[in-house]
Amino acid sequence: MPQKAFAFQLPFIKKEQIAKNVYSFYFDRIKSEFDFLPGQYVRLVLPHEDADERGTSRFFTISSSPLNKEHLILTTKLPHSTFKNTLFYLEPGQQVQFFGPLGRLFLQEDETNEQVFLAGGIGITPFHSMLQFAAKKQMQVPLTLLVSFAEYEEALFYEELTSLAKQQPNIKVIYTLSGNYPVNWGGEKGRISEPLLRKYIGDLQKPIYSLTGPLAMVDSLRQLLESLSIDSEKIIVEDFTGY
C-alpha cells in the first residue's frame, strides 16, 4: 500500500541535462523516511519573489525507482516560468520542501495483471520508475511501454530502457517518432495507433492500460482504447497534467 502523504525536506544535489530541453534534478534521500511506489508523484514547493500566475508549487512524477535509496530524481522540461527558473538555479545543499507521495498510478511488486503503458513525451517519467523497479525485482508480470516523441533528440531514456528490455523477457519497450527521425532510425514511426497496439499486444482486452502525457494526447488515447471496446475500469489516467 502507498505510504501516507506528508511534508518533508530534501537537500538538492545536482541537475543533469538528459535530452533536448529536459533536465533531471537530483535530491538526497539517504536520511529521509520518505518512500513511494514506482509511478507516484510529489508536490514540490519553491517560494520565490514575483511568482507568475501558477504560483510557487508544482506536481512532478518521480522518475527514479524507489529502490534508489540515495536519490529522489525529478525529470522535467524547462519552458520559461518563474517556478522552473527557480528550480533550474537551485544551489547544491539547498533544502527543498516536498509533499507526498501522491497518485493512484503506480506499480506494486505483487502485481499480477498484464500492464500496458502508453505515454507521450515527458509523460514517460512514471513508467521509467516502474520499469527500473520491475527489472530490479525481476517481476514476472508482462509490461509493455509504447511511447511517442516528436523527434529523436527528445526521446527520453531511449538507450537505457531499450537495453533494459533486451535483458528482461517480460518487458517490451517500443519508441515511436511522430516527426523528424534519423536516417538510421530502426524504431516505429508515427503516433500510437490501433495497428501499433495490435502489433505488440497479443490480446487487447487483457491488460490494464495506464496513460500519461499531454492532455490532448491522453484524451486521444483514451478514445482509441474505448473504440477498441476496452473496459473503462482497465484504463488509468493520472489526475494531473503537469510534469
CATH number (domain holding residue 41)? 2.40.30.10
DSSP track, 35-55 = ---TT-EEEEE---TT--TTT
For the whole prediction, is pTM greater than 0.85?
Answer: yes
- If asked whether residues 72 and 134 sit together in one domain, one would say no
* pLDDT level of residue 1 (50, 70, 90 thresholds): confident
Query: pLDDT tens digits for 93-119?
Result: 999 999 999 998 999 999 999 999 999
- If asked whether residues 128 and 51 sit together in one domain, one would say no
Read off φ and ψ for residue 157, nearest 5 degrees: 60, 20
Q: What pLDDT does 133 receive?
A: 98
User: Does some domain include residue 35?
Assistant: yes
- Residue 134 CA to its chain's centroid (Å): 14
Question: What's the grid cell of residue 49?
Answer: 519573489
Q: Give the type of residue at 62.
A: I
d(CA 109, CA 195): 31
Residues in the chain: 243
- If asked whether residues 94 and 197 sit together in one domain, one would say no
- The pLDDT mean for the chain works out to 94
Give the C-alpha distances (Å, rounded to integers) separating 188 from 175, 182, 191, 200, 225.
Answer: 6, 12, 9, 11, 20
Decide if pLDDT at 198 tops 70.
yes
Question: What's the grid cell of residue 37?
Answer: 511506489
Decide if pLDDT at 241 tops 60.
no
Question: What's the grid cell of residue 25?
Answer: 534534478
- If asked whether residues 82 and 152 sit together in one domain, one would say no
The DSSP secondary-structure symbol of 184 reads: T
* pLDDT level of residue 211 (50, 70, 90 thresholds): very high
Peptide bond into 195 cis (omega under 30): no
Decide if pLDDT at 239 tops 70.
no
- If asked whether residues 77 and 156 sit together in one domain, one would say no
The number of domains in the chain is: 2
Q: Output 12 or 104, whichever has higher pLDDT.
A: 12
State the CATH number of the domain containing residue 162: 3.40.50.80
- If asked whether residues 51 and 126 sit together in one domain, one would say no
The mean pLDDT value for 203-223 works out to 95
- If asked whether residues 120 and 97 sit together in one domain, one would say no
* DSSP-based three-state secondary structure for 160: helix
Which residue range forms the structural domain that includes residue 177?
115-237
* pLDDT level of residue 125 (50, 70, 90 thresholds): very high
Read off φ and ψ for residue 9, nearest 5 degrees: -125, 145
Q: What percent of the chain has pLDDT over 90?
A: 86
User: Does some domain include residue 1?
Assistant: no
Q: What pLDDT does 38 receive?
A: 97
Helix (H) and strand (E) counts in the chain: 5, 12
User: Does some domain include residue 153?
Assistant: yes
User: Does some domain include residue 94?
Assistant: yes
User: Does some domain include residue 215?
Assistant: yes
